[in-house]
Amino acid sequence: MKVLAAVTLALGLILINFSTCYGDLQVGFYKGKCRNEVDVEAIVRGAVTARFNRDHSAVAALLRLCFHDCFVNGCDASILIDGPNSEKKASPNKSVRGYDIIDEAKAAVERECPGVVSCADIISLATRDAVALSVGWRWKYDVETGRRDGLVPGIVDLPSSRITVSESIQVFADKGLTVTDMVMLLGGGHSVGFTHCPFIMDRLYNFNNTNMPDPNMSPFLLSTLRSRCPPTGARDNQEVNLDQNTFSAFVVDQSYYQQAMMRRAILRVDQELAFHPATRDLVASTARGSGFPTQFGAAMNNLGRVGVLTGNQGQVRNRCNVVNPITSNSTPAVANKASTSATTTAATNNTSTNAPTATTNNASTSAPSTAAANNANTSPMLGDINPMA
């Protein structure tokens, strides 16, 4: 059974406060900026709540959407832009969803406070609210706002599902994120959502080209996953929950770390976090303790600071999927990125190198179909979710 932060069960909602200002970002940026003192955060919350009540998988969808936006071109909502060369069309983003949730929230905000609230901020607010909904509002973290929207899509280069811990540390460091941020973002994000069989076939049948399963996977999990992902046959679109506890598969909590400690993590990088010298102590302490909500909230805020546009940079889009006509108040997004540095006090030092490519050979005993092979480049970082039917 999952263990939520121990004190939350007795105290109800815990509001996690962080520093109220980071450069031009601040908690409550929109207070007093709309007519009639409209609470834009409450409007976003209403839209997200309506969707979550119909579809609990919205939390994983929004976490992944937020991660893919921030990791590509900074947190500038460039992932929302339509077009033949848009980030949406890139292979790693083909199974990203949640765009309609952002559109619904944006439309609701525009009706009450037109031309003020950026799509980039709506992504951050909506993701926070989805996380809070997943735990029944027992805790939530503050979100800094004040971002502007980018004008151009970025080049998509996301980490692979088969990335190692050492490679992952380098990728996150390249974005100004710490080891602690990485462990919290992976842990929180991978406590919800699902992946597909092609992403884990090597762990089940041919780990590191040994023709053997991953020795770090528990025999029980190995048997369970092999029955769901056979070496041959129709299994390319078979879904595998990242959280094997079906009663809490839509709850963002520390179960990820508990399962990793029991050698029951689904993805390679998730399992390796429990054994790598740079991460194992943090994984163990998070699995045992009650500090996950605070640390996860801090990591989400650090992610939300990556490559932001503020002030007169970028623009506030009228519709999230279309860039407004360029005016003198809209400056190119690429040339005006704010600092991507984001640190937490509990972090260990990292070295920053270029991110590895997002393609890795699938070492299953049977080659996946073309469609599955294309899908295998989709990063399930923070939850690999297919679009809803």
Query: Is 121 annotated as belonging to a binding site?
Result: no
Query: Is 55 annotated as belonging to a binding site?
Result: no
CA distance 32 to 226: 56
The beta strands (E) that lie in the chain are given as 14-16, 21-22, 25-27, 139-141, 144-145, 194-196, 239-241
Query: Is 190 annotated as belonging to a binding site?
Result: yes
Joined tokens for residue 70 = 């921030």
CA distance 191 to 208: 25
Q: Which of 118, 125, 139 is nearest to 295 (CA)?
A: 139
Query: Is 76 annotated as belonging to a binding site?
Result: yes
CA distance 45 to 130: 8
Query: Is 74 annotated as belonging to a binding site?
Result: yes
SS3 track for 150-208: CCCCCCCCCCCCCCCHHHHHHHHHHCCCCHHHHHHHHHHHCCCCEEEHHHCHHHHHCHH
Query: Is 246 annotated as belonging to a binding site?
Result: yes
Write down the catalytic residue from 56, 68, 196, 276. 68
Query: Is 144 annotated as belonging to a binding site?
Result: no
CA distance 333 to 331: 6
Is residue 68 annotated as part of the catalytic site, yes or no? yes
Query: Is 129 annotated as belonging to a binding site?
Result: no
Rama region for 303: left / alpha / beta (φ>0; ψ in -120 to 50; rest): alpha
Query: Is 78 annotated as belonging to a binding site?
Result: yes
Annotated binding-site members: 69, 72, 74, 76, 78, 87, 159, 190, 243, 246, 253
Binding residues for heme b: 190
Query: Annotated binding site for substrate, which residues?
Result: 159
Task: Please identify every residue annotated as catalytic.
Answer: 68
